[in-house]
């Protein structure tokens, strides 16, 4: 029932949050796409800075892990190596010798979390986090209420991989592969589930985005649940969300912004038109409230001139869901004399609906703009149109014997 009510509210555009009468949080979020490397100092140091600086107390949740004690210990050591005073929170379904339901409502543990400067959620299975920190009726445990209190007071909530997925009110639960998600309908409570909602009810979050081509699975999930705005973050990279809802990208790669405000979906196999896609590179900013993009200083003076394109040939990819392929194709399009770029994705001939594939058509519009770094090695790309339509895959003309 809770999921049904949430879906209705989202479609209607009515705000929903964990505590509707609470003031906006004064804290920040650090949403990490997974696989955060130990040497990625900008991300680790930002978490600690937002938690209060050197010596900050940070509550570490390894609730998503199948081996929470081991992964929690590793994460505590990593944060402490960068100057924090992190501590492990023993609330996890798979923690030996502990009852997670009892621990999640322990008043002393909740007080320790409440008095911390930040919380860090490790990766694994995001459904385990929600099950560990929410009661069966959907209400918050004392420890989860403590995280919210800390965040509202001005602390930081960070999460990597599964810890990033829980940031939105609705998240992927137990999803299929990206291509299967495009081909098949999604089910609430299975592929789609309730997250913890720290980023607010109006933004959908996904992770491991570019490495695994997951931008494509965000679209059917957003359309089904009524989201107009989606933020997807790549591995070893973070989106830092400030109290004024400005997003800054830091780390190895970047993030995609998916805007469905003017998108139209069609009946039958997955088919959507007029999605707006933007790529935020390291250092770029995007404001969730105003939808304004700001390139990093290195790019601000290097706006691309459409009359002086670098690429001058048709743009096509036979594997649009490949590692970072979508960004590579968009980068070429924004610096090209071509009006559009096309990518396709196909499945195994032995897979689900083997004759069904999808065409991704990226088009430059009057609103499309690109920036290039001073070194010429990276792009920021804003407001490219994306249309996705199903295509029929023909079988080979000849069969080998």
Residue-by-residue pLDDT tens, the chain, 401 positions: 333 344 444 433 333 344 456 678 999 999 999 999 999 999 999 999 999 999 999 999 999 999 999 999 999 999 999 999 999 999 999 999 999 999 999 999 999 999 999 999 999 999 999 999 999 999 999 999 999 999 999 999 999 999 999 999 999 999 999 999 999 978 777 899 999 999 999 999 999 999 999 999 999 999 999 999 999 999 999 999 999 999 999 999 999 999 999 999 998 899 999 999 999 999 999 999 999 999 999 999 999 999 999 999 999 999 999 999 999 999 999 999 999 999 999 998 888 899 999 999 999 999 999 999 988 789 999 999 999 999 998 777 677 77
C-alpha closest to that of 157 among 108, 105, 122: 122
**pLDDT on residue 88:** 98
37-71 in b/e form (b: 16+ CB < 10 A) is eeebeebbbbbbbbbbeeebbbbbbbbbbeebbeb
- List C-alpha distances in Å: 207 to 11, 87, 298, 398: 23, 25, 26, 41
Between 142-153 and 107-114, two packed helices, what is the crossing angle to 10 degrees? 20
Which CATH architecture fits 27-254+282-287?
A: 3-Layer(aba) Sandwich (3.40)
Whose structure tokens read 């299967």?
A: 180
**Is 17 in contact with 169 (CB distance < 8 Å)?**
yes
Distance CA 252, CA 31 (A): 14
Going by their DSSP bridges, the two strands 170-172 and 192-194 should be labelled as antiparallel
The HSE-up count of residue 371 (CA atoms within 13 Å, CB side) is 22
**pLDDT on residue 21:** 60
Distance CA 296, CA 153 (A): 29
Tokens for 215, please give them: 């931008």
Q: Which are the contacts of 130, defined by CB distance < 8 A and separation ≥ 6?
A: 166, 193, 194, 195, 196
Q: Which are the contacts of 222, defined by CB distance < 8 A and separation ≥ 6?
A: 204, 228, 230, 258, 260
- List C-alpha distances in Å: 58 to 49, 139, 293: 11, 24, 31
- Residue 358: is it exposed, middle or buried by C-beta count within 10 angstroms (0-12/13-18/19+)? buried
User: pTM of the prediction?
Assistant: 0.93
What DSSP designation does 245 have? Answer: -
Q: For the chain, how long is the longest CA-to-CA vector? A: 71
Tokens for 197, please give them: 């909602």
């Amino acid at each position: 029932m809770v999921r049904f009510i949430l879906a209705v509210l989202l479609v209607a555009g009515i705000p929903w949050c964990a505590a509707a009468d609470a003031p906006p949080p004064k804290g920040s979020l650090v949403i990490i796409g997974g696989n955060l490397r130990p040497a990625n100092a900008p991300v680790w140091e930002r978490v600690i800075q937002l938690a209060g600086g050197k010596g900050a107390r940070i509550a570490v949740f390894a609730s998503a892990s199948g081996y929470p004690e081991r992964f929690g210990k590793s994460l505590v050591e990593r944060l402490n190596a960068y100057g924090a005073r992190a501590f492990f929170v023993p609330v996890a379904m798979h923690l030996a010798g502990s009852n997670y339901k009892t621990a999640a409502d322990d008043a002393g543990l909740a007080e320790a979390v409440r008095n911390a400067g930040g919380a860090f959620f490790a990766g694994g299975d995001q459904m385990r986090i929600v099950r560990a920190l929410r009661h069966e009726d959907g209400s918050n445990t004392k420890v989860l209420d403590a995280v919210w209190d800390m965040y509202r007071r001005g602390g930081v909530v960070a999460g990597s991989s599964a810890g990033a997925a829980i940031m939105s009110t609705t998240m992927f639960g137990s999803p299929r592969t990206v291509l299967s998600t495009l081909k098949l309908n999604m089910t609430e409570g299975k592929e789609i589930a309730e997250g913890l909602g720290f980023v607010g009810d109006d933004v959908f979050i996904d992770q491991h985005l570019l490495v695994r081509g997951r931008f494509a699975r965000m679209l059917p999930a957003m359309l089904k649940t009524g989201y107009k705005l989606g933020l997807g973050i790549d591995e070893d990279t973070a989106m830092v969300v400030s109290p004024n809802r400005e997003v800054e990208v830091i780390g190895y790669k970047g993030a995609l912004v998916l805007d469905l405000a003017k998108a139209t979906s069609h009946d039958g196999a997955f088919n959507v038109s007029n999605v707006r896609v933007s790529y935020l590179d390291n250092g770029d900013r995007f404001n969730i409230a105003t939808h304004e993009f700001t390139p990093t200083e290195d790019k601000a003076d290097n706006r691309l001139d459409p009359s002086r394109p670098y690429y001058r040939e048709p743009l096509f990819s036979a594997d649009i869901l490949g590692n970072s392929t979508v960004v590579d194709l968009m980068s070429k399009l924004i610096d090209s004399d071509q009006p559009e770029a096309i990518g396709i994705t196909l499945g195994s001939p032995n897979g689900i609906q083997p004759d069904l594939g999808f065409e991704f058509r990226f088009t430059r519009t009057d609103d499309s703009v690109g920036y290039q770094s001073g070194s010429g090695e990276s792009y920021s790309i804003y407001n490219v149109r994306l249309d996705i339509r199903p295509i029929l895959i023909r079988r080979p003309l000849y069969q080998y014997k």
